[in-house]
Each structure stands twice: as structure tokens, then as C-alpha cells.
Chain A
Amino acid sequence: MTPGRATGGMWYTFRTNRVAQAGGTIIVSTLMAILLVRLLSPYGPNEKDYMSILHMPSLAHPFGTDSFGQDVLTRVVYGAQVSLIISFGGLILGGLVGSVIGMASGFWGGVLDAVTMRFIDLLYSFPTYVLALCLMLLLGYGSRSVSLAIALVYVPNFARLARSMTAATRAENYVTAARLMGQSPTRILLREILPNIAAPLLVQFSAGLGFGIILEAGLSFIGLGVQPPTPSLGVMMADGKDYFQKAPWVLTLTGVSVAWIILGLNLLGDGLRDALDPQLRRRLS
């Protein structure tokens, strides 16, 4: 199967898969809302108005205002952008490194496989925040370190997936054929194997993007991640928790926005998985 046909098939199944459509709708409408609020909002993300501190949600401030009188909706929109970029960067890096390790491991096997996969198992045995916290101490707090922490947490997921898929694909006839034709291992990995294992990696990416946002939010929430005044979603929730008995909307509505974005990503990932694995779908329906 050529890569072109694979993506064409994906688009077709996406059009016929209701779960993927629901996820896609959420993501696209959220992106449009982000754009609209950025264009139309009369407030800046760090614009303080000490005359309207902790106002309830109203027409002027649909999500209310926080302890500095900043408009929560505007900050959520800017924060979502920051958090998405951080998570996206982390997943791209973690996905690339993990996939390369996994594919090499699954393709060549032997001692390389045994040693690297033990190391991957070790990485996978650290609780997510413990791993992230140690890395934050090493690299210092801030957006870039959070991205790297997300990458490190996700390397083992991608490596394990890529390894098992590559090991299963290695024995296929088209791989043997390519080998007999004298193609180099790199070329076989990139041209023959990668297109055939890309789909599950993509699904992992979509689901991981959501968890990356949770990880960023959690780290920033305990104060070890993105630092204020950068408006990431975690920073805003950390701020909102300080006065959440008095003004619960800041924490609650920011969290609802986070959950909404992640729900969209999860639905998209689910839909993609069903679409890309017709055998699974047939078994389950």
C-alpha cells in the first residue's frame, strides 16, 4: 500500500466515522473559538482591571474575572494555545525519539533490542509526575522543560508500540522482497515499514496530546511547570485554586475548557483507531 492511498483511505473512513467526526468537530470549533476570541475580545490576556476583581460570569465576562480582574475567557484562550503548543512539541519529540528507538529495536532485534527495551521498561516504571519532576529540577522550570518532560514520559509508549509493530511487519513478504532487492535497512524502515505502522503511532499521538495537556497542567498546578505570568491552563488553575471557595468559576471553567479540548482529542483518537483498524471495528460492532 502506498502512503498516498493510506491517507486517502483515512480521509474516507474519517468521513464515515461518527466518533472521529465528533472529535474533529470539537477540535475545529475550539480552534475557531480561539481565533474568534483573539480577534474580538476587548481584553488582553494580562490586562488587569482592579475595578472588576472576581466578578461572576456575565455578558461582559462570559467566564468571569480572576483575582487581578483579568478576563478568564481571554486567558483560557491564550492559555489553551500555550498548553497545546507545549504538549504538541513534547509529543512530536517523544514520538520521534520513541518511534526511532522502537523501530530500530524491532527491526534488528538481538542485544540492541534486549538492552534498549529494558531501559524503556525502566522509563515506563517511573510514575509520570516523578519522572517529570526530576527532569524539571535538572532543566529548570518553564515551558521548554515541560515539553521535554512530556517527551520523556511518552518515549516508552511510542518505543513499545513501534517495536511490536515493526517486529510484526518485519516478516511480511514485501519487506523480504525489499531486502532481496538490496535496499538499505534505513530505506526499508522508512519506505516499507513506516507507512504500514504509522496509523497506530498517529492514534497514540492523538491520545497522548490530551494527556500531555493534563501533565502540563498538573506540573504547572503544583508550581513546578510553566511559571506565571505565562497564561498556561495549569498556571490559571493553580491561581484559581487559591480562592476557589470564593470564586469557583475560575478553576471550574478553566478545567471544563481543558476537559473539553481533551475530550475532542480523545474522540478523534478513538475514531481514527476504529477507522484504521477495520478488523477491530468488525469484531466490536
Chain B
Amino acid sequence: MNSVTKNTQLICYHCGQDCPDDSIHLEDKYFCCNGCKTVFEILNQNQLCNYYNFGSNPGISPSTVIDKKYDYLDERDVIEKLVDFKDDKFTSLTFYIPQMHCSSCIWLLENLYKLNSAVVQSKVNFVRKELSVRFLHEKLSLKELVKLLASIGYEPQISLDSVEQKKEQHPNRHLYYKVGIAGFCFGNIMLFSFPEYFSIDITETFLKKFFSYLNLILALPVFFYSASDYFISAFKGLRKKVVNIDVPISLGILVLFIRSAYEILFNVGAGYFDSMAGLVFFLLIGKILQEKTYDALNFERDYKAYFPLSVTIKQNEVEKSIPVSKLMIGNRILIRKNEIIPADSILINGDGIIDYSFVTGESHPVSKVSGEMIYAGGRQLGGAIELEVIKEVSQSYLTRLWNNDTFNNIGESYFTRFSNTVSKYFTIIVLLLAIASGAYWLTVDLKTAVHVFTSVLIVACPCALALSTPFTLGNAMRILGRNKFYLKNSSVIEEMAKINEIVFDKTGTITESGKADIIFNGKVLTPFEQKLVKSLVRNSTHPLSKKIYDSISGEEIFPVTNFQEITGKGISGIVYGNLLKLGSSSFAGVENNEDETLQTKIYLSINEQVVGKFIVSNSYRDGIEDVIKNLSKHYHLSLLSGDNEGEKSTLEKFFGEKSNLNFRQSPEDKLIYIKEQQSKGKKVLMLGDGLNDAGALSKSDVGIAVTDDISNFSPACDAILHGSELKKLPKFLEYAKDGVKIIYASFVISFLYNLIGLSFAVEAKLSPILAAILMPVSSISVVVFATVMTNIFGKKRGLTWK
């Protein structure tokens, strides 16, 4: 026991992980692996050890770099697709490096020029986890640059996706321009309206005209540029016969502009340009808030982002790296340890140990022998294997799912949003009111009638109404983000509030991926026997062997002779004079009388005598039982698992009797299940993690991807939830309901303001100064209300943060 505690005290100087022993060290600094030591040496040689001063143990343990892995980066068309800009001297490009996590990373990556003088400039965007590099391409090739990054632990993620579609670089830049210009014009127009506000008697008509015309000129860019989005959106909505919230807003702005321009040009009044500019300015600020997204996360990923960019093919005994898109039927491909199989193929050579957990939901790796079919998307865990491609990448079992219709109709939810439903009735009522009051005043005179008609439309402009939703949802989204629940956009909250059915995936969602509990069932093993087993499994690279190895404590290892590993069967060897066999029932010599497939069992025999079996079961996430019990009180729950029924009884205990538990579900089955529930009128929330859930996630009303590392691949979804925060799911759902209630309340407040304004308007008493006070006051009070209430409810639901 003593040795164990001593070991945990040894922390790798580079990456901060526990060192297995003290064998790897440099002077007084210890490292967990040779990779970390190498990185330290590189940095030390180049006087870059400052790296270790900005954060404690900031490093990343580098993965072993295989020489031929990056050969595809020498291909001309791959380079062309990756590069942002290239002239005869320099090349600039942007890498996505999800590993960067602290200020030391920024410092090191921005000092790349010290490691290689051919790098001219390197700049980090930490939020997006991107590194832009400019380098002399005559001195340094792209391949060498990527190798350099990989050697210090920052291997860029280059996938099929990043090559095929370049990300839109500056989507919201125009919004900033619009806000800037609206703000500038708003401030100046208010300044020039001061004589009007204070009823200062300007005797000189020249000055009066001067101020008015300045206001008119300043109002032009606000009307034609800053407000243009609202007109376009309203027009688009009307063409689709939908009255969205932008319709009454556009109507208000339009009437404000025409009436003010008329008053100034015909010298009858001062106009309402200050109100108009202020209105547009506040609305645009709300829009910026609403358009906040998590830049580093990508919610639209499909299989292309998961697949590698290149694959090694074997042609006439020569190994060559080619882009996956050029892979053809009949190609012989070479897959090394931890690589992903890009296309459906047949195993030709080697022992396949394929981890399908991400693709099919099977929790344990599958052993394959030559001649067997291997589906695309699996990850090889054993040594190198050789495969023959039998289907093109786009035609394989997994990628076919993306040809489903579900992936082609995104974005319809926009029109179901609550504010749009309200705005429809709102617009009709306001129009009727304007016409009615105008008609009433028509009996007095035409001028007053027009005045009243326009005043009603101006004052009823639902500025506060339009601001309440973005501020409430934007702030709620921020609070959820601090709790590691990242939403694609704020309208997901409205959808979440309507949910009445929750569907769970099993592997990786309610179980922890990569973790498993191992129980030994049978005769109790003596410490000596445990050591024998530990020594035997140490020789095997099979993932299950590793799990057994980790489950047995102790350090002592005996030498093993006659070690044999038979793929798909088991391992055997002689340890300390005892013959040990570990593997399937037939291998260990057990009469098979149980349903073998239900649970993963590994039988152990010592000297041809069966002593028992190791049972591997999934390890459930912390507190998942409480979460499920809690949720089952308010929602109908279902489970869709790609795995077998092995843990049905445990899961039944969690889910209770009312829930549906379905096993051995294919990706299509899951999609169909969601469709069925929706056709029964249910609003479905789906939690999943793998590619096999992708169809169901995008079909469901709210699809949440659960992941333990948010910068890793996650399938297309509406929200990404960090695995450790799954226990907060009931709170998140409650909070979404609170958010919608807050919006209702803000609507009531803004209606009250509208009533006050309207009462002035219908009596023909609306003056520019009254409008200039009423509009900002109503907007600001609604904004403050929404922000404060979302924070209060956040605290009440226990969604606090440091």
C-alpha cells in the first residue's frame, strides 16, 4: 500500500499526470512518459521553459507520431484546400487545436518562431481554439509544421470536414457596424434635439432648420443601413404568410421615418428621429446578445468531421497516404492502432479489435478475424490491420444515415417561437386600433386623423416586446453555459420548456465511456492467484485485458512463458509453473449453458480447472439514478440502447415500470422511435453521444449531445452537455420553464407601457419628447427585469458558478 501512495505523489513536470514510477526523469524533474520528457527537452533547448511558469504542469502528453501519418499533407490539392492564403514566399493557414487549454498554451504557440525560424507569425484565438500560422514555405513544408506541432503535444485536428467546407470567417461583423452607426447617429440626433426637448425658443428659423435637416441626414444611415435586417426579415416572413415580430417593428420604424421626414420637409414639426434611432440601436444590441454562440463548439458536425482526412493504402507492396475522398472499392488499406476505419471493408490481415461504441452503442470492443466485415467508423484498438474496401465512403452503413430526410429540414422551429405567435395578434390589434382611432378623428379633421393614425403605429412599436425575448434567453443561455450546458442558440430554451418525453441513449450517455466495473464471480482468488492473473494479462494489448490489469492492485509481476493470444478466444500462458487460461467459455473449458451474449464475461481457468469469471459491466455516471427517478415524476422516459440486454434488470430499477426500454437499436430504429413519439404529439428530448444517435438527435425537438470533452467530436445537435453535469438535467429543464415564464411577465410589462403610450396617441397628445422618454424607459426597464429575473431564478435553481 505504501508504494501506491508514494507513486501518486510523483506528478509529471510536463503534463501533471501521475507518473507510474520514477524511472523517467531529468535532474529533479519527473515525467510520466518519454513523450513528455521529449517535449521538455525541446523546450529546454530553445529556452522556452517559461512555458512552465504561466500555469502549473500545463503540458499535453504528445501522442506517438507515426512517420507516414502526415504524408497526405504533401499532396498539392490537400494543401490548397487547407491554406488560407499563399504567395511566392509565405503561406498562411489556420489550424484547429482542441488541446489548448491555458495561458501557457497561448504563450508556447505564439512563440513557435523560436522553435523553427521559418515560422514568421503565429497567433492564437483561444476561444475558437485556433492557431493562425504564417510561414516561409520554401524552408518549411506544411507536413513538417504539423509534425512540429504534434511533437510538442499540440497536434492539429485536420478532418474531412475542415477541408470540404471552410468556416465562415466573420458572420457578425456587419452587425457590429450596424450597431456602431446606429449608436453614433442616435447620440448626435439626441444632441440636436435638445432645443426641442427643453422647448427652447429658437427665434432664428435658420438654426431650427439646420438642426432638423442634420437630424434627417443622420437618420438616413440608420433607416437604410442599420434597420435593413428588420425590413428584410419582415418581408421574408410576409412572403411565407407569417407575421413575425419583425413585422410590427418594421411598420413602426417605417411610419416613424416617413412621418418625421414629412414634418421636417414641410416644416410642420421636429419629427421623431431620436426615437427611431434609439429604437434601432436598442434592438440591435438585443440582437447581438441573441446571436451569441459558442465559437469553439460546432453543433453542425456530421460524419465528415469524425472521419480522418487521409488513409494509408497499400499498392504493389508500397505504402502510400491518400485522401479518404479518393478511396475506391478494392483498395487495400492499412489501419494502425487507434485509427478509424473510413469505409466498410473486409479484414484481410491482422487481428481486429474494433471499438464500435461511438457508432453502434456496443459498449465493449469486438474481436474480428480475417474475412470478417468491418463497418466504417469503428476504431481499431489492437495492432495494425490490413483491409479491403468494399464500399465507398459515402455509401457505407454509417454515412447512409445522413442521406435521410431528417438532415435536410433544419430551421423550421424558428416560426413556432412564442414571440411570433404573439406578434401576429399584436399586429392585427394595433392596425385595427390605428384605423379606428384615425377614423374617429376624421370627423374632426384630416390632419389630426393622420397624426393619430401614425402616432398609434409609432407608440405601439413593440420594442420592449422584441427585447424581452433576446435578453431573457440570452442571459439564461449564458448561465447554462457556465454550468457546462452549451446551447446552439437561445430558442432551444423555449423548446426545452415544452418537452414531455425524454429519451436516453445508454453507452456513453448514462454510462461513462471508457470506464467499466469489473467483478470477479466464483471462487475467491488468493492474493497469489491474483498476481498470476495480473502477470498474464500484462502481456496482452486487448482492452479487456487492460481493464482486468487495472482492477487488480499490487505491483509484483511474475515472468510468463508460452504466452499465446488467440483473437476472439482468449489468452493463455504459464506463470510460476501454473497454466492460466483467460477468455471465452469454450476457451477456458466451461460448458456453455448461459446466454453468452447478454453480458461480457471472461472465464478464468488455472491448471485446466475453471475457477470463475470476470464480469464486465458498465459504470454509470455519478448520480444518474437520482436524475432518472427525479425526471420520471414529470416526464415519460425511454431508453434506446444499441447494446444488448445485459443490464436490463439494473436499468429497470432506474427507470421504473412506466418507461420503455429498448435494446439492440440500430441508428435507424432510434430515428423511427423518435418519429413515432412525435406523431403521437409528444415533444421529445433526446440525450445521446455517438454517431448512432445522430439521426435521433436531429429529429428530436431538442437533441442534447453528452460528452466528456466538449472539444471532441459530437454529432449534430441542439445543445452540448458536459458529462459531469448530467445530474443537473432536471434543474436545466426547470430553469427553461422559468425562462419562458419570465418572457411572459416581460410581455405583460411591455403591454402596460404600450397601453400608456396608446392612451396618449389616440387622444392626439403624443409629442416627440414624450415618445423620446417612453421608448427608452420601457425598453430599459424590460431589459433590466429580464436580466435580473434570469439571475434570480438561476440562483434559486442552484445553477451557480464560481
Whether both chains belong to one complex is answered with no
